[in-house]
Amino acid sequence: MGSMNQERAARLRLARLTEPGDAQIGELAVLGQAIDVLRRIRESDPTLDRVENYRARLDAPEDRRTDLAGDLDPGPDERWLEETSARYVIPGDGEWPTQLDALGAVRPLGLFVRGADLRLAALRSVAVVGARAATAYGLHTASEFGSDLADRGWTVVSGGAYGIDAAAHRGALSAGGTTVAVLACGVDVSYPSGNAALFERIVADAGCLVSELAPGTHPTKPRFLQRNRVIAALTRATVVVEAAERSGALNTAAYCRRLGRQLLAVPGPVTSPMSAGCHRLIRADEPARLVTGVDEVVEEVGPIGELAPLPTILERVRDGLDPTSLLVLEAVPVRAPAGPAEISRSAGLPLDTVPGVLLRLAAAGLVVDRGDKGFQLVRGAGDRPLSG
């Protein structure tokens, strides 16, 4: 077995013995040294902190042996990989996304991947994350962001959970785009079970499922939090769509800041507890950028010159009036007609200038001439589009 395959086998064993984000193991298991770390665990090296914790998971005879002079025999995870279309990607592989190296000591030992090439999928990617207990507003917004990002050629990365995550994944799929789900369980475990069909569709539609946890592993709260660092590191930016004050999405946002990646947040109703976390991010000392649509997201993370279009401001009929005509229009009552003298006093204009202006406004359909009764405003006429 070649040295790279030995390294892969050792990292597969370590994925079973350790938890994601273990900085001690990460510092020791630099490329080519995972085999030595595994040996130290098997030999109960007293200089290794928590060595007995690692050894507690040494269940299989092939894991308990200390003789590493020969090749590592295939373990259950290697056999599982051989029987499926999944693969275990490690640093140094062509498929390894090198942006994960920014995590330093807490970089994953490796990643189990089902589906498309992870490195290619993540080259131009944005994370869309948020609350599980999302509101209708949040679900709609996440779906729109997912769909619009996919339309612009961006991969949507999220955590596969209920709520915002699932809406973002589905939005990308609805647009025929690529989406990546980073899981807090094995890639063969459908958690939450209600998203099982979504996970299979992601794999079938040129996306991928990713996890640093071994097959069959189930999620725990710490694993969800550690999963978030991978989401933040894999992507160019993280968009928080909805987040309560203690949402896990804020954990992803914290990793995003630490890594120097773009942090973006979507505002919500000031009365909604599910947007309180987003508003806190926007108001922070190191604020997240407020975004209201994908054009603004792409402007932050896309190539130079890929700018969001200026918002279209609908010009109204009243916007085309000269100042005198506008004063007269504002002085014409809507409930009952008024004569030129009353309108003149209300507008603060000389009486001799008002009748001619009223006739022009009547010709434009903005006021109605009621004869001896005077003039009356046409409700809403001044707010019609100028082109109409």
- Please tell me whether residues 121 and 268 are part of one structural domain: yes
Same domain, 291 and 325: no
Q: What is the mean pLDDT of residues 55-65?
A: 64
Q: Please state, in angstroms and as integers, the Cα–Cα distance from residue 194 to each residue in 10, 41, 136, 160, 162, following that order.
A: 34, 38, 18, 11, 8
pLDDT (0 to 100) of residue 90: 96
pLDDT of residue 104: 95
Residue 101: inside a domain: no
Residue 311 lies in a domain: no
146 and 286 together in one domain: yes
Distance (Å, whole) CA 308 – CA 45? 57
Residues 274 and 192 in one domain: yes
In a domain, 40, yes or no: yes
364 and 340 in a common domain: yes
Of residues 321, 325, 319, 311, the one with CA closest to residue 385:
319
Within this chain, do residues 328 and 297 fall inside the same structural domain, yes or no?
no
Single residue among 273, 301, 329 that ends a domain in this structure: 301
- Within a domain: 89: no
Q: Are residue 273 and residue 171 in the same domain, yes or no?
A: yes
CATH number at residue 288: 3.40.50.450
Q: Which residue has the tokens 């475990």?
A: 189
Kind and range of the H or E element at 158?
A: strand 155-158
pTM: 0.79
Q: Is residue 375 part of a domain?
A: yes
In a domain, 98, yes or no: no
- Report the number of distinct structural domains present in the chain: 3
- Spacing of C-alpha 338 from chain mean position: 57
Query: What digits encode the pLDDT tens for the residues 207-239?
Result: 999 999 999 999 999 999 999 999 999 999 999
pLDDT at 75: 79
Is 346 within a domain?
Answer: yes
Q: How confident is the model at residue 247 (pLDDT cuts 50, 70, 90)?
A: confident
Q: Among 39-53, 61-75, 193-207, 345-359, which is the least confidently predicted range? A: 61-75
Q: Are strands 375-377 and 367-369 parallel, antiparallel or unpaired?
A: antiparallel
* pLDDT above 80 for 384: no
Q: 351 and 226, same structural domain?
A: no
The helix/strand/coil state of 66 is: coil
| Distance, CA of 321 to CA of 341 (rounded, Å) | 21
Q: Could you tell me if 229 and 372 lie in one domain?
A: no
Q: Is the pLDDT of residue 61 over 70?
A: no
What's the mean pLDDT in 72-79? 79
CA atoms within 13 A on the CB side of 116: 21
Q: Which of 45, 75, 105 is the last residue of a domain?
A: 75
- Place 133 in a pLDDT band, splitting at 50, 70 and 90: very high
Residue 352 lies in a domain: yes
User: With 70 as the cut, is the pLDDT of residue 388 above it?
Assistant: no
CATH number, domain of 333, equals 1.10.10.10
Whether 68 has a pLDDT exceeding 90, the answer reads no
Q: Which one has a higher pLDDT value, 76 or 166?
A: 166
283 and 321 together in one domain: no
Residues 297 and 355 in one domain: no
What integer pLDDT is reported at residue 65 of this predicted model?
A: 47
Structural domain of residue 57, as residue ranges? Answer: 3-75
- Of 301, 335, 364, the domain-final residue: 301
Over the range 101-136, which residues count as b (16 or more CB within 10 Å of their CB) and which as e?
eebeebbbbbbbbbbbbbbebbebbbbbbbbbebbe
% of the chain surpassing 70 pLDDT:
90
- Percent of the chain at pLDDT exceeding 90: 76
**Separation between Cα atoms, residue 76 and residue 91, nearest integer Å:** 21
End-to-end, the C-alpha distance of the chain in Å comes to 76
Q: Is the pLDDT of residue 20 over 80?
A: yes
Q: Are residues 48 and 143 in the same domain?
A: no
pLDDT band for position 318 (cuts 50, 70, 90): confident
Helix (H, G, I), strand (E, B) or coil at 208: strand
Greatest C-alpha distance within the chain: 110
Alpha-carbon gap, residue 357 to 329, rounded angstroms: 9
Least confident of 47-56, 299-308, 347-356: 299-308
